Structure 1
């Protein structure tokens, strides 16, 4: 692993030097070529004026024309620079699209049934149509379970059929995993949140308590957001991502810590609205927040990577000391 890292690091360094060399040449050309052109034209004009072939007034006019042509020359070199960058970027995109994923489709994909989603590694089972919360003593365990349930890693089944037996496109259409690694995109906010034009934006924003965020924008949902929405705070981005996931309305929605960046008051409002927004749909929330756990139909307590208890939030607080310590943030005795 370390040898491969050294090789790749050296290759990246060499590529960076080559790129910097080309960029420096283009930057120099943007200044040098217009300057050389202006000096050459002025020198020729001065020669003609000294020989009496043109008048001083014509020399001044000639210089003005030459100075005017400097801008198009600079634009030409800038265009070459942008074309070079675009060509390199296009090659990267094409190379990425040609890559094969780590989870290829089987030769003869099976159709996924409707039923119980299960993670064989942890023993977590998701009942269809309910809001199930996964509370894990180690947050990484919950994230890994979410990856398997969404087939970002192998090991989950749907009504006994392995997700790996189905086409990846069908799994993605049926099961959506929304975590905090997801990003907002640069561009019109409506196109980012509702790319398919489903028309459920107001309801999703209300469920995610994000209506006020959009209302404060200059053009509302039509506002063009620069720089991938980084002008929003962490909690605002989280609420907008939640709204986007609700608009997608998948058969199974898996949310990983969807409210850990918002204040307790907003989190309580989201917890109450989320269950109503996903009524009758299978929803999984990986969280240790008591506000979200109290609204779940079922809570699955995961310890050391395995499901050790399933029940209601209040029942688990009463019967499972480990769960109570996790939710109430108590220290082990």
Structure 2
């Protein structure tokens, strides 16, 4: 919400916060967005005391992200909330796993939890049994699988030259924000910052191009197919001609009508002909066998994207004998 918006919009925003017991954390009249001579309180931070307790709100002037938005730091105290998976945490690098070390850790963890497993098995507590299995798998993964190190600086094209030009651009931007912005000196500073910013972006494009030429020039073996997939356009097969009810369907719209008619038929007018689902006093029970579970796991791709538990199918396959 900017300082230059209509009063009705401002009242509506503050009214929403008041009606939902929210507290505005921003320091009054502190600019969070700036482009040239224009500035605004564009980034609002709200706090709900029933969920979090924010102890600090501040602008970080020393660090420059290259954006028109200022960097805001919040310090939040947790109030008895159940923690959930943080998607920004480092993922496991399963392609560099030491599975022998992971299997040894799984065996050790299984021995440690043997009594708890027996107790859950005697009580037929499926939830506890599932938690024990998950604990064994995560302990094995933590021991034998390294974590990836995420950083935008890990790009292949990022080198010392790009780093230096980024540093000069950030320094020039901070210097541009200091002092009176209406003076002639301020305009000179802004012009200098724009030149360094453009120089930084040109250097990035140059390094990306060099990295691509190097990748293509040094590609051998299976890497050639990777280059081919990147440079060749994907081919989309057309739906062949359809024979339906002694007629030949060629156009896309006619094919679309046939598909809709076949996939979503109209409900019959005669209600007696509508089949009803069987009624059960109790849902039928079906017991999964170990072979069925194993077959389902082995049909999955080894390195498919894991869920919130960060357990990949390759881990289930390698640790199958231990779980």
**TM tier, smaller:** under 0.3
Question: Greater helix percent: which structure?
Answer: 1
**More relative contact order, 1 or 2 (CA 8 Å, 6+ apart):** 1
- Give the TM-score taking structure 2 as reference length: 0.21
- Give the TM-score taking structure 1 as reference length: 0.21
